[in-house]
Homo-oligomer: A and B are copies of this chain.
């Protein structure tokens, strides 16, 4: 299949690599053009704009940071909408507003262009190892068509509902992890202050009701007070704001999520926005007098 991939960031670049490895014809585009080099060296074509990338493609994938970026890439001047043909499938794998997603899909639909929203979870490790969790919203016919492409990037791929449902599912994911990060940080801080052998404690708890991906994969960061990426605080913060906006619209009460969003506001203000989201532990450590 002819696949164009727009957005060569921490996630997009390895995801595009995996599509290329699966044997598809790949064209890449990035606003900062130098970031196209890695993929070009691996055998991908380069396009000068989203419009050019969309031209002749069967599938156009976007994977960028936020709602305005996706709007501009798809609907703006030199946007995907000006290059894509009727029948082209646009797959947005960014994490953005479900409401904006439906609006973009409607505009594409007026030109016969199909859209799916397919945000991912699993971080940069998942992008590299092609083990992403992908949550897909849209029509079944299009989901079936792009499934081989999605399978090149992810392990658990679920068609969760109509357009926008992928983004709501991603919001649910970001909400759920918030509380786990926070009380993991609280629990570990208690153990550290009590002088316990923390790696042993994590081991002891990993077989029971406290077991989670976060306990297994992010406790070390919190114990060592060092937060290499992973997934940036400022991106999780952006996702929580989408989640909170969506919840306000639907009338859903998210007190712990709002609390974590406030902790992250503070982390970003103190210059920790580019650390891994496990840096939430900084807030608890500092409030407890741990260095």
A residues apposed to B, CB below 8 Å: 121-123, 126, 132-133, 135, 155-156, 158, 160-161, 165, 168-169, 171-173, 175-184, 186-191, 193-194, 196-197, 200-201, 203-215, 217, 231, 243, 246-247, 250-257, 259-260, 284, 287-289
Contacts and interface: CB of A to CB of B under 8 A. Distances in A.
A123 B209 contact: yes
Interface residue SS majority, chain A: helix
A177 B168 contact: no
A253 B187 contact: no
16 contacts: A121-B208, A126-B208, A135-B204, A156-B207, A158-B201, A160-B196, A169-B196, A169-B204, A172-B187, A176-B215, A177-B210, A179-B180, A180-B183, A212-B212, A251-B289, A252-B288
B187 A251 contact: no
Contact of A183 (B178, B190, B197): B178
A243 B190 contact: yes
Given A176-B210, A180-B183, 6 more contacts: A161-B196, A168-B191, A172-B187, A173-B209, A178-B179, A211-B213
Contacts of A156: 204, 206-208
A15 B155 CA distance: 39
A168 B190 contact: yes
Given A179-B179, A256-B182, A190 B172 contact: yes
Contacts of A257: 183, 186
Identify the 9 closest CB pairs spanning chains A and B, nearest first: A179-B183, A179-B179, A156-B207, A158-B204, A212-B212, A133-B208, A253-B287, A175-B187, A121-B208
A232 B43 CA distance: 58
A14 B284 CA distance: 38
B176 A183 contact: yes
A205 to B, nearest CB: 5
Nearest to A134: B204
A173 B215 CA distance: 11
A277 to B, nearest CB: 9
Contact of A121 (B180, B197, B205, B250): B205
A190 B252 contact: yes
Given A133-B204, A212-B180, A173 B160 contact: no
A186 B197 contact: no
Contacts of A259: 255-256, 259
A130 B160 CA distance: 37
A143 to B, nearest CB: 13
Contacts of A287: 253, 255
A155 B215 CA distance: 19
A133 B207 contact: yes
Given A196-B160, A200-B158, A190 B135 contact: no
